[in-house]
Amino acid sequence: MTDANAADDNWLLDEDEDELPAGGPKAPDQRLWRVLIVDDDADVHAVTRLALRNVSFKGRELELFSAYSGREAYDILRDTPDIALVLLDVVMETDDAGLILARRIREELHNAIVRVVLRTGQPGQAPEQRVIIEYDINDYKAKTELTTQKLFTTVISALRAYESLNMLERSRIGLGKILAGATNLYQIHSLREFASGVLNQVSAILDVGADGVLCLMQGDTGVTTVVAATGGYAELNDAELMPAGHPLWPTISKAFAEKKSQFDHPANVLFIHTQENREVAISVTPPWPLAQIQRDLLEVFCQRIAAAFDNLYMFGQLRKAQEATVVALADLAEFRDSGTGGHVRRVQMLSSALAQRLHERGAYPDEVTPQLLEMIGLASILHDVGKVATPDHILLKPGLHTPEERSEMQQHAAVGKAILERAANMVDGVSYLTYGAQIAGGHHEHWDGNGYPNQLRERAIPIAARIVAVVDVFDSLLHERPYKEPWPHTEAVGYIRDRAGKQFDPEVVAALMELIERDPNIGNTPG
């Protein structure tokens, strides 16, 4: 072997810095490449660090970690994210410590993307062909062949492979988040909640915190309205319009003007144009410039949520139409009985409050569902819709009813239930009409089974009807009727309390008493 070849082969002594590219200043917005050196020889660590001290790849320098045994290296890999490359010795605390670590990296840590380069000073103890076949390593080098230049080439090749695999993995995770996130967004009804959900999903795709994310919507008039804001921009939730002097405004304005996304770090604005001619801008300020794969993922996500925005609007319109129908039905029932005044509106508010209090108490968790909490208020105003079938001379009679008239009057419960059930059956799933039918048919049933029309008892009576039963009687006692004067508040409260376990569900009565304790004048709303 010539002296020149010997010098070239001695990687520990070769310090030809001219062959290494200048590292240059590290970009402040990019993280370092993390490399783990695993060897029981301190000199190997020192010389490896010396050889790699000026190495950079794509403007990112190296961050070197050291471990002197397989066990120590395993702990570092377990606890340190984003290690791109392991330069791994074979013989350390045992003759096969490096091989055992290589297997544990893949099988126990389930880390398939970190690049593992095996370095050995005794190739005979770990033959290359057997090691390459039996262990998931990415390169095998004898220490004697690793000159500074060859070490540089090995490291750069490993980092390039790691970057490609990491991008594929991030793409897979990002697409999964897009699919999951878009599905969840379709379940959100409120536009502000929907917009907040969009911001959270964007943060997840970018793998950054929610800080520095803003969502805006452009109306037909050209006015930019703040829909939701998170993190450092959360104070904008209190602003109806986007302030023209805000630092994000120039980029947002440019996105609306050019009708396309803007990636101008630190301000990045995603532009969305929906089929219903709505324009939405989502401004993101991550700590580093967005990689192309992140931009592509965000554009895919924007395509998904553009349809979601339109669907949300259509859902909102259908919801408003449904609510308007319910209100019209209630107004129709109340129109003939002007003596009830604002009875149905008071029942609506107190029914919602009482259902929420039951939820807070943890009562009937299988019955007091989020769906019930959302719908019971509006559904409760339909409780007397069956009175449309009651003759005027009975409905409007100023005095007490005869037994025959009482029997005729009581038919309104069954009539109301039948009307609303027929309507509810025309709509898939549970709606206001579903709960309205339960309430209309069951709010005159008694806990002890002595009510009407079907003498149901206890939990056989739907929870919505048990709630409205208490609210309906309580409100009727407190307000004037053609056949009675209003009762004093204390007497009405005493009547409800005394009827717990007989006419009324004791849990519902207890919840009402707690509401009254909070607000002693509850139910005394005039009208």
On whether both 225 and 350 belong to a single domain, the answer is no
Quote the pLDDT of residue 252. 87
Nearest to 463 by CA among 375, 331, 339: 375
Choose the final residue of a domain: 171, 202, 228. 171
Other Cβ atoms less than 10 A from the Cβ of 143: the count is: 18
Half-sphere exposure of 374 (CA within 13 A, CB side): 13
On whether both 134 and 203 belong to a single domain, the answer is no
On whether both 374 and 450 belong to a single domain, the answer is yes
Instruction: Write a three-state SS string for 350-389.
Output: HHHHHHHHHHHHCCCCCCCCHHHHHHHHHHHCCCCHHHHH
Does residue 23 lie in a domain region?
Answer: no
Nearest to 121 by CA among 162, 149, 90, 96: 90
- pLDDT values of the chain reduced to their tens digit, one per residue, 527 residues: 444 444 444 433 343 433 333 343 333 335 789 999 999 999 999 999 999 988 998 888 999 999 999 999 999 999 998 899 999 998 899 988 999 999 999 999 999 999 999 888 765 555 666 777 788 888 888 877 778 888 999 999 999 999 888 877 766 765 665 556 555 555 555 666 777 777 777 777 676 555 555 566 655 566 787 877 877 888 887 877 888 888 888 888 888 888 888 888 888 888 888 777 778 888 878 777 777 777 887 787 777 777 777 777 777 777 777 777 777 777 666 665 555 557 778 888 999 999 999 999 999 999 999 999 989 998 898 888 877 777 767 766 777 778 888 878 778 888 889 988 888 888 778 888 899 999 999 999 999 999 999 999 999 999 999 999 999 999 989 887 766 788 999 999 999 999 999 999 999 999 999 999 998 878 666 54
Active site residues: 387
Quote the pLDDT of residue 115. 94
pTM, entire model: 0.51
Does residue 147 lie in a domain region?
Answer: yes
- Angle (CA) 6-10-14 rounded to 5° is 110
On whether both 348 and 482 belong to a single domain, the answer is yes
On whether both 61 and 98 belong to a single domain, the answer is yes
Does residue 24 lie in a domain region?
Answer: no
Does residue 431 lie in a domain region?
Answer: yes
Does residue 20 lie in a domain region?
Answer: no
Q: Which amino acid is at 59?
A: G
On whether both 348 and 483 belong to a single domain, the answer is yes
Q: How many domains does the chain have?
A: 3
* Alpha carbon of residue 15 to chain centroid: 54
Choose the final residue of a domain: 105, 137, 171. 171
Tell me the CATH number at 87: 3.40.50.2300
On whether both 354 and 476 belong to a single domain, the answer is yes
Does residue 177 lie in a domain region?
Answer: no
β strands within 188-319, DSSP E: 213-218, 224-230, 262-264, 267-273, 279-284
CB 156 within 8 A of CB 84: no
For 359, the domain range is 337-518
On whether both 380 and 445 belong to a single domain, the answer is yes
On whether both 200 and 165 belong to a single domain, the answer is no
On whether both 205 and 134 belong to a single domain, the answer is no
Does residue 17 lie in a domain region?
Answer: no
Choose the final residue of a domain: 138, 171, 204. 171
Quote the pLDDT of residue 156. 93
Quote the pLDDT of residue 28. 33
Tell me the CATH number at 289: 3.30.450.40
Quote the pLDDT of residue 123. 58
On whether both 352 and 422 belong to a single domain, the answer is yes
Nearest to 172 by CA among 30, 302, 307, 300: 300
- CA separation for the pair 405, 233 (Å, rounded): 64
Quote the pLDDT of residue 378. 87
On whether both 272 and 144 belong to a single domain, the answer is no
Does residue 6 lie in a domain region?
Answer: no
Partners of 214 in the beta sheet? 229, 283
